[in-house]
């Protein structure tokens, strides 16, 4: 099931964006095999609740042994895609770098996920999402005027990381059909994060963006694009940018003729208008404002907690969330009309599928016994 049925992927165990990319491929029907470390715990806690680890099987190998490395290379030689997220040079030291892997499998798409990319002054340095955002201008632009605020780790790690790798891998898969040759996909989060800032850099180039926080159309500076607290200490979100949506917002609040709201795009008037709206929204509960705005063109949404979100009527109607083994998580997306995805399989424990994976990938009983005797399995 799924549009990527028949695609074979080997994933080296890792953190965050690499496993997320593998999950996306697996959700869309690819056969994903994760190579875990032998006799080790997973990096991200309880493997059975690691949502990004769904939709694949696991084989655990001791890559410090010749037999383990050779077994990994044998798996790689049969794969369409390899995904790894180690620091530059680690795969080369394991004997599983691009040279060895592409020699064994000339059509291989070799996907590399790092924070800083494979080269450059910071390539060998440790880092996290917040650091990649920091040097790309993204972090400076997010938060209240007083200080930047980290937007979880969803921008660089997943939007500019895992999704970037996914797009690169799919593009390289398409290209190999024409050329017959594989290649390395170097996906650096510090490259991907600025791509997501395209609209901001556009406004900056047009003179329509101030290089500071909470002073612009989309950063919380505008009264009609932001978050407001309600009387029950919950919050609502507004995005009434377009004139017709802005007019409807004012109509719903009986502010159509209020002088504070007559020059929507004049930043000088935003602070006073924002305070006026804040005072209004603090008078009633989130549920009240939901009854006023939900389903209208005001561009409104209640700010829901992680536990509340799956119960929202729209999310329930779309089946946006699902439970797998009692763990709530996002359903596979996007949706395909002719080749729909199957329900994702639960995350495996490291090495849970050793025998079946190796057998499915052409290892005989004697091969498997030899790996066990060599301490590789």
State what percent of residues in the chain have pLDDT above 70.
98
Q: How many CA atoms, within 13 angstroms, populate the side-chain half-sphere of residue 246?
A: 15
**Over the chain, what is the mean pLDDT?**
96
Taking the alpha carbons of 141, 143, 149, 154 in that order, is the dihedral positive or negative? negative
Cis status, amide bond into 95, omega within 30 of 0: no
Asked if residues 27 and 324 have their Cβ atoms less than 8 Å apart, the reply is no
Q: Which of 62, 83, 69 lies closest to 8 in space, CA to CA? A: 83
3-state secondary structure 158-227: HHHHHHHHHHHHHHHHHHHHHHCCCEEEEEEHHHHHHHCCHHHHHHHHCCCCCCCCCCCCCCCCCCCEEE
What CA–CA distance (Å, rounded) separates 159 from 128? 14
Q: How confident is the model at residue 42 (pLDDT cuts 50, 70, 90)?
A: low
Q: How confident is the model at residue 41 (pLDDT cuts 50, 70, 90)?
A: low
What is the DSSP annotation of 265-328? T-GGGHHHHHHHHHHHHTTS-HHHHHHHHTTSTT-EEEE--TTTGGGSHHHHHHT-EEEETTEE
pTM of the predicted model, to two decimals? Answer: 0.95
pLDDT computed for residue 48 by the predictor: 84
- Catalytic pick among 70, 128, 140, 186: 128
Average pLDDT over residues 296-311: 98
Average pLDDT over residues 22-33: 98
Give 81's strand partners.
9, 109
**Backbone φ, ψ for residue 75 (5° rounding):** -65, -45
Asked if residues 320 and 20 have their Cβ atoms less than 8 Å apart, the reply is no
Q: How confident is the model at residue 1 (pLDDT cuts 50, 70, 90)?
A: confident
Q: Which of 251, 223, 250 lies closest to 237 in space, CA to CA? A: 223
Query: How do residues 312-336 score in pLDDT, each as one tens digit?
Result: 999 999 999 999 999 999 999 999 9
36 carries an active-site annotation: no
- Catalytic pick among 36, 80, 129, 157: 157
- The residue with tokens 């309880």 is 46
What CA–CA distance (Å, rounded) separates 333 from 317? 15
Asked if residues 45 and 19 have their Cβ atoms less than 8 Å apart, the reply is no
Angle between helices 17-27 and 163-179 (to 10 degrees): 60
pLDDT computed for residue 46 by the predictor: 80
Eight-class DSSP state of 157: I
The CA-based angle 326-331-332, given to 5 degrees, is 135
Q: How confident is the model at residue 375 (pLDDT cuts 50, 70, 90)?
A: very high
232 carries an active-site annotation: no
Query: How do residues 188-222 score in pLDDT, each as one tens digit?
Result: 999 999 999 999 999 999 999 999 999 999 999 99
Q: How confident is the model at residue 43 (pLDDT cuts 50, 70, 90)?
A: low
In the structure encoding, which two tokens stand for residue 113, read together? Answer: 């996920």
Per CATH, the number for 225-311 is 3.30.1540.10
Residue ranges per structural domain of the chain:
8-196+322-373, 225-311
pLDDT computed for residue 44 by the predictor: 63
Average pLDDT over residues 255-267: 97
**CATH 3.40.50.10540 for domain 8-196+322-373:** yes
């Amino acid at each position: 099931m799924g549009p990527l049925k028949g695609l074979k992927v080997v994933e080296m165990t890792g953190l965050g964006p690499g496993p997320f990319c593998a999950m996306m491929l697996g959700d869309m029907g690819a056969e994903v095999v994760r190579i875990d470390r032998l006799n080790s715990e997973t990096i991200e806690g309880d493997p059975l609740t690691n949502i990004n680890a769904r939709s694949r099987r696991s084989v655990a190998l001791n890559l410090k042994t010749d037999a383990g490395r050779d077994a990994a290379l044998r798996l790689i030689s049969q794969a369409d895609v390899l995904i790894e997220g180690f620091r530059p040079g680690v795969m080369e030291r394991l004997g599983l770098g691009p040279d060895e892997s592409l020699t064994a499998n000339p059509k291989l798409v070799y996907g590399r996920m790092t924070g800083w990319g494979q080269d450059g002054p910071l390539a060998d340095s440790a880092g996290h999402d917040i650091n990649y955002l920091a040097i790309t201008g993204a972090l400076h632009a997010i938060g209240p005027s007083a200080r930047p605020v980290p937007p979880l780790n969803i921008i660089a790690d997943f939007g500019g990381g895992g999704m970037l790798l996914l797009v690169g891998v799919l593009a390289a898969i398409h290209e190999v059909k024409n050329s017959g040759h594989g290649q390395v996909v170097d996906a650096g989060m510090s490259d991907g994060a600025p791509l997501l800032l395209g609209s901001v850099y556009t406004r900056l180039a047009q003179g329509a963006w101030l290089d500071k926080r909470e002073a612009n159309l989309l950063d919380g500076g505008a009264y009609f694009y932001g978050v407001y607290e309600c009387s029950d200490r919950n919050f609502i979100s507004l995005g009434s940018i377009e004139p017709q949506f802005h007019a409807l917002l004012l109509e719903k609040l009986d502010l159509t003729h209020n002088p504070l709201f007559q020059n929507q795009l004049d930043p000088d008037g935003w602070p006073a208008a924002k305070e006026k709206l804040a005072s209004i929204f603090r008078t009633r509960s989130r549920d009240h404002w939901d009854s006023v705005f939900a389903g209208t063109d005001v561009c409104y949404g209640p700010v829901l907690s992680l536990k509340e979100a799956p119960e929202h009527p729209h999310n329930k109607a779309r089946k946006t969330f699902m439970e797998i083994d009692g763990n709530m998580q996002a359903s596979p997306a996007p949706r395909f009309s002719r080749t729909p995805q199957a329900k994702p399989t639960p995350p495996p424990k490291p090495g849970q599928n050793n025998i079946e994976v190796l057998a499915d990938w052409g290892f005989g009983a004697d091969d498997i016994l030899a790996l066990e005797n060599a301490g590789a399995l």
